[in-house]
Amino acid sequence: MTDALAPDFKTVPRGPDLAIKQNLLGLTRAVLREKLIEVGIAEKQAKMRASQLWQWIYQKGVQDFDGMTNLSKDFRETLEQHFTVERPEIVEKQISIDGARKYLLRIAGGHEVEAVYIPDENRGTLCISSQVGCTLNCTFCHTGTQKLVRNLTAGEVVAQVMVARDDLDEWHSDPGPQIGRRKITNVVLMGMGEPLYNYENVRDAMLIVMDNEGISISRRRITLSTSGVVPEIVRAGEEIGCLLAVSFHAPTNGVRDVLVPINKKWNIEVLLETLRNYPRLSNSERITFEYVMLKDVNDSDADARRLVKLISGIPAKINLIPFNPWPGSNYVRSDWDRIEAFAEIINEAGYASPVRTPRGEDIMAACGQLKSASQKIRKSSLKREKI
Ligand code: SAH
Ligand code: SF4
């Protein structure tokens, strides 16, 4: 999918005052090198300069060129003249009673996206968005009720991690691996949007998040969740190599057609065939099947049995997600004893079936509840004004 509405820096005139500076966040190494050469850095030096910049940007979190103290003054001035490393503005930050944090970020064009940080005992997971809205309309998902506004740029995807790291005070002066001290240990592409409909940008962003000179989070700690965009699943496996989660949600095409309408394009059989061929599939790199528990829709014992039969032979775990209701939703969360009975059938068939504890419910941060908040905020500020 093209990104027609994203800012196109190339077409912006470059006068000294009128210039919109190129943001370096999210540029691949190769593109960063080219940009440096364009502003006069010698070709022979560009690779090393790009490396230095990456360290300052992604390992130390420096937000202005002045702070890049091992670079010569001349070079810093050139950078300052042409580039920025600006992050999106945090419009609102909410902290749940369970410690989850939701960030509402304003990106170019005045659009808003959400990212959620979920702290756990041994890890901290950052859930990030890939699009403003979504073109798909899974019937149980709040994001699905909002039309796609635009794809995020690679920089905007990476910036969500940067902003959360800023807020969690995660930058340290000493470089190197920081797992153990890090607050964000895992990244999941489970926020707003379908990541595989913004494939190139998501790929470039994740390659930076994974890079040892970049944000340096292992590919095995990154999970991309897709509703089942079959052709791009293959590419993602080859080019990104992160873990995969699939929004499965129903064991028959009839029900999945309704819940996850992309099923009409790539049905269960086609999807499963693709998953069986996902690279590096093994017991240590299993596919996660996400399964939202909807009362009387997809939660019977027969559904559970059908599900395990379908996925037989695929190294997998099944993540049961109690439905998170949102204003105006037409579904009801399955009862807890139903969820437990469903989980037991899956367990007995030899699959792990963790039930995802809803987090950040008080701040509407749980799975599937993210929606561009501009409308919500406008409404709530109207209310405040009336009071
Ligand atoms: N578009 C991608 C990733 C974003 S959604 C995808 O569909 O996979 C992340 C997960 O939350 C998906 O499994 C999605 O189906 C699930 N989800 C969406 N709305 C939900 C809701 N209201 N309650 C529980 N899970 C939901
Ligand atoms: Fe889009 Fe995923 Fe929501 Fe479906 S579940 S509407 S693909 S964000």
Q: pLDDT truncated to tens, each residue of the chain (387 aa)?
A: 444 444 443 333 344 444 689 999 999 999 999 999 999 999 999 999 999 999 999 999 999 999 999 999 999 999 999 999 999 999 999 999 999 999 999 999 999 999 999 999 989 999 999 999 999 999 999 988 888 889 999 999 999 999 999 999 998 655 555 545 789 999 999 999 999 999 999 999 999 999 999 999 999 999 999 999 999 999 999 999 999 999 999 999 999 999 999 999 999 999 999 999 998 898 889 999 999 999 999 999 999 999 999 999 999 999 999 999 888 899 999 999 999 999 999 999 999 999 988 788 777 766 666 665 444 444 443 333 332
Instruction: Give the per-residue pLDDT at 11.
Output: 38
CA distance 277 to 265: 19
Do 49 and 106 fall into the same domain? no
Examine the fold and report which residue of 58, 84, 110 is the final residue of a domain before the chain moves on. Answer: 84
Do 215 and 295 fall into the same domain? yes
CA dihedral 370, 374, 376, 382 (to 10 degrees): 170
Å from CA of 52 to ligand 2 middle: 38
Of all protein residues, the one whose alpha carbon is nearest to atom 9 of ligand 1 is 190
Mutate to test the pocket of ligand 1, among 141, 355, 356, 370 (most ligand atoms within 8 A of CB): 141
Active-site pick, 194, 348, 367, 385: 367
Å from CA of 238 to ligand 2 middle: 23
Q: What is the CATH number of the domain that holds 69?
A: 1.10.150.530
Do 74 and 115 fall into the same domain? no
CB of 363 shorter than 6 A to ligand 1: no
Q: Which ligand ends up closest to the CA of 144?
A: 2
CA distance 22 to 7: 10
352 secondary structure, DSSP code? B
Do 96 and 201 fall into the same domain? yes
Q: Which ligand ends up closest to the CA of 134?
A: 2
Domain assignment of residue 6, yes or no = no
CB of 244 shorter than 6 A to ligand 1: no
Domain assignment of residue 99, yes or no = yes
Are residues 293 and 332 in contact, defined by beta-carbon separation less than 8 angstroms?
no
pTM of the model: 0.90
Domain assignment of residue 1, yes or no = no
Residue type, 195: P
Do 96 and 152 fall into the same domain? yes
Are residues 61 and 166 in contact, defined by beta-carbon separation less than 8 angstroms?
yes
Domain assignment of residue 256, yes or no = yes
CB of 194 shorter than 6 A to ligand 1: yes
Active-site pick, 86, 92, 114, 232: 114
Do 185 and 329 fall into the same domain? yes
Mutate to test the pocket of ligand 2, among 138, 146, 249, 294 (most ligand atoms within 8 A of CB): 138
- Nearest atom within ligand 2 for CA of residue 134: 1
Domain assignment of residue 20, yes or no = yes
Å from CA of 226 to ligand 2 middle: 8
Examine the fold and report which residue of 84, 114, 137 is the final residue of a domain before the chain moves on. Answer: 84
Residue type, 365: A
- Rounded to the nearest angstrom, the gap between the alpha carbon of residue 340 and the centroid of all alpha carbons in its chain is 29
Å from CA of 68 to ligand 1 middle: 40
Q: Which ligand ends up closest to the CA of 289?
A: 1
Angle subtended at Cα 30 by Cα 150 and Cα 130, rounded to the nearest 5 degrees: 20
* Residues with a CB atom less than 6 Å from ligand 2: 134, 136-138, 141, 143-144, 193-194, 227, 247
Are residues 7 and 21 in contact, defined by beta-carbon separation less than 8 angstroms?
no
CA distance 15 to 280: 50
List the structure tokens of 33. Answer: 């090198």
Question: Whole domain around residue 74: which residue ranges?
Answer: 16-84
CB of 321 shorter than 6 A to ligand 1: yes
Q: What is the CATH number of the domain that holds 331?
A: 3.20.20.70
Say whether 114 is catalytic: yes
Å from CA of 189 to ligand 2 middle: 11
- Nearest CA-CA partner of 119 in 96, 135, 141, 142: 96
Report the domain count for the chain: 2
Do 101 and 61 fall into the same domain? no
CB of 232 shorter than 6 A to ligand 1: no
Q: What is the pLDDT of residues 295-316, one digit of tens each?
A: 999 999 999 999 999 999 999 9
